[in-house]
Chain A
Amino acid sequence: MIYFILIAILFLLMIASSVYAVIQKDLLYAVMATGIISLILSILYFLLQAPDVALTEAAIGVALTTIIFVITIRNTVRMEDESDKKEKFKSAVK
Chain B
Amino acid sequence: MDSTYFHFLDYAVYGTAVLVMLIGFYGAMVKKSLLKIVIGLSVIDSGLNLLIVAIGYYKGGTAPIFSPGFLEHFKSVSKMVDPVPQALVLTAIVIGFGVTAVALALVIRLYRHHGTLNIDEIKNLKW
A residues with a Cβ closer than 8 A to B are 1, 3-4, 7-8, 11, 14-15, 18-19, 21-22, 27, 30-31, 34, 37-38, 41, 44-45, 47-53, 56-57, 60-61, 64-65, 68-69, 72-73, 75-77, 80-82, 85, 89-90, 92-93
Contact = CB atoms under 8 A, between A and B. Distances in A.
Interface residues of B, number: 55
B97 A60 contact: yes
B5 A69 contact: no
Interface string B22-33: 011011000101
Contacts of B12: 7-8, 11
A49 B9 contact: no
Contact of B53 (A11, A48, A80, A81): A48
26 contacts: A7-B6, A8-B9, A15-B19, A18-B20, A19-B23, A22-B27, A22-B31, A27-B35, A30-B36, A41-B50, A48-B57, A50-B86, A51-B63, A51-B65, A53-B93, A60-B97, A61-B46, A61-B93, A65-B97, A69-B35, A69-B100, A75-B108, A76-B108, A77-B117, A80-B31, A90-B115
A30 B95 CA distance: 22
A50 B8 contact: no
A93 B61 contact: no
A64 B94 CA distance: 11
B23 A50 contact: no
Given A8-B12, A21-B27, A65-B97, A82 B63 contact: no
Nearest to B86: A50
B5 A53 contact: no
A79 B93 CA distance: 28
B77 interface: no
Which interface residue of B46, B64, B90 has the most chain A CB atoms within 10 A? B46
Interface string B51-65: 001101100011111
A7 to B, nearest CB: 6
B115 A18 contact: no
Which interface residue of A11, A18, A21, A75 has the most chain B CB atoms within 10 A? A18
